[in-house]
Amino acid sequence: MKALTFKRYGKSPEIGFSEVPRPTLKPDDLLVQVHAAGLNPIDNMIPTGTFKPVLKFQLPATLGSDIAGVVIEVGSRVTRFKPGDAIFASLFDLGRGSIAEFAVVPESVAALKPANLDFVQAASIPMVGLTSWQALKERTGLRAGQKVFIPAGAGGIGTFAIQLAKHFGAMVGTTTSTGNVQLVKRLGADEVVDYKKQEFEKVLRSYDVVLGTLRGETIEKTIDILQRGGKIVSLIGPLDAAFARARRLNFVLELVFALMSRKIMRLARKRDVTYSFLFVRPDGDQLTEIGDLLKSERVRPVIDKVFPFEQAKEALDYLAQGRAKGKVVVQIK
**What residue segments make up the domains of the chain, in order of their start?**
2-125+301-331, 128-277
pLDDT of residue 128: 97
pLDDT at 111: 98
* Domain 128-277: which CATH number of 3.50.30.10, 3.40.50.10800, 3.40.50.720, 1.10.760.10: 3.40.50.720
Q: What average pLDDT does the segment 73-93 reach?
A: 97
Q: Does residue 238 have a cis peptide bond before it, meaning omega lies within 30 degrees of 0? A: yes
Q: Describe the strand order of the beta sheet including 207-212 as a list of residue ranges.
A: 191-194, 171-176, 147-149, 207-212, 226-234, 274-277
Instruction: Give pLDDT, residue 50.
Output: 82
**236 has a pLDDT exceeding 90:** no
On whether the CB atoms of residues 1 and 19 are closer than 8 A, the answer is: yes
Mean pLDDT of the chain: 95
Give the closest residue to 176 by CA, choosing from 302, 272, 67, 63.
Answer: 302
Predicted local distance difference test score (pLDDT) of residue 250? 87
Rounded CA-CA distance 88/67 in Å is 6
Domain 2-125+301-331, classified CATH 3.90.1170.50, yes or no: no
The predicted model gives 87-113 an average pLDDT of 97
Q: What is the pTM of this model?
A: 0.94
CA dist., res. 51 & res. 93, Å (int): 10
Q: In 3-state terms, what secondary structure has residue 68?
A: strand
pLDDT digits (tens, 9 = 90+) for 50-66: 888 888 898 999 999 99
Which pLDDT score, from 0 to 100, does residue 116 have?
Answer: 97
pLDDT of residue 11: 87
The pLDDT of residue 216 is above 80: no
Region 228-250 average pLDDT: 90
